[in-house]
Homo-oligomer: A and B are copies of this chain.
Amino acid sequence: MVGGGKDAFIGGVHRIASRIDGEFTLVAGALSSTPDRARESGIALGLDPDRCYGSYADMAQAEAARDDGIQAVSIVTPNHMHAAPAIEFLKRGIHVICDKPLAATMEQAEALAQAVRASKALFILTHNYTGYPMIRQARAMVAAGDLGKIRLVQVEYPQDWLTDAAEQSGTNKQAEWRTDPERSGAGGAIGDIGSHAHNLACFVSGLKVESLAADLQSFVPGRPVDDNAHIMLRYSQGARGMLWCSQVAPGNENALRLRIYGEKGGLEWAQEDPNYLWFTPFGQPKQLLTRAGAGASDHANAVSRIPGGHPEGYLEGFANIYTGAAAAIRTAQAGQTPDFDVLPGLDEGLSGMQFIAAAIRSSQADAAWVKL
């Protein structure tokens, strides 16, 4: 693991997610950009001190040289530190599981893309919301035509944690780097959560955004990046949509919500209650489909662990990405080409970067339509 030392949020998530299905064991790390801190964090996690590295470069070199070196690395650093370490490991044939977005800048993203294409190692991007069982089912239902031709894709991801200038409090590291364009990239809310919303909408609908008109705002004085984004979307095949993401909407924790409507029916899903999928065949009563319960399909059941009514959550959805990664790595090790059908990788990463860039460009042009 690269990144994920003390005070980090997402590193701990990756560690649990990688562990849930018993597919990965953490054996080495460069857990901080500060060497002492990296070592300390590693030892606190029970790593062999010899495999607590002071930098990702040392780690890549040393692990590649070991007979029992790591097979895969998780990169859980702030966005501007995704590409460089990923490239370093990919070069050495070590599979990379990287937090999203792909990078802080398009240049970094492109350099990483080249490295992915040049490597035999796999690159997985943890767009974790696509790991939820009912999201897998929703995607399959759309693909099977249960909704008919898609007309509308409404997606939103409101939060409230940056309602105040938390980044100026001096005590909130998360807020600091996520509102710092040097580390986070040019997008604030749009990069952090808007990219998740975009990814989820495309994943389920099977559509691509062809153009968008975005109105980004930065409501908190002194904040150099957006903390709210309003976007109108034109999807492939004539579908239309809206995307709203916000970090300044009091009363919302991680209220990611997707609604898709077609000629024959509609689907609704909310991340905070992820075991439920609401399906309305037009003209009939709304149905509550539950994970591993009534109305759950094979697509959901394949990534469920326990019966319906016993909720699975965020960590299990995240684990489905890790377990999918493990399966892909095994396929690659067997000399075959892994299936990236539901597993997010480079394509999703580049698409996300284009989405962020287009939203910023549109907003700078007073919400003019920008093609992706």
Q: Answer yes or no: A49 CB below 8 A from chain B CBs.
A: no
CB distance from A129 to the nearest CB of B (A): 10
CB distance from A28 to the nearest CB of B (A): 15
Asked if B294 contacts A305 (CB within 8 A), the reply is: no
Known: A217-B240, A253-B290. 14 other contacts (CB 8 A): A20-B20, A154-B244, A160-B280, A163-B282, A164-B282, A215-B234, A232-B232, A249-B259, A250-B266, A251-B278, A251-B280, A283-B294, A286-B288, A315-B316
Which 3 A-B pairs rank lowest in CB-CB distance, beginning with the nearest? A253-B309, A251-B280, A254-B309
Q: Which residues of A contact B (CB under 8 A)?
A: 9, 12-13, 15-16, 19-22, 46, 147, 151-152, 154, 159-160, 163-164, 213, 215, 217, 219, 228, 230, 232, 234, 240-242, 244, 246, 248-255, 259, 261-266, 268, 271-275, 278-290, 293-295, 305-316, 366-367, 369
Q: Known contacts A284-B295, A367-B369: does B228 contact A151 (CB below 8 Å)?
A: yes
Q: Known contacts A22-B19, A232-B232, A294-B286: does B255 contact A309 (CB below 8 Å)?
A: yes
Q: How many copies does the complex hold?
A: 4
Asked if B288 contacts A261 (CB within 8 A), the reply is: no
Contacts of A307 in B (CB 8 A): 9, 253-254
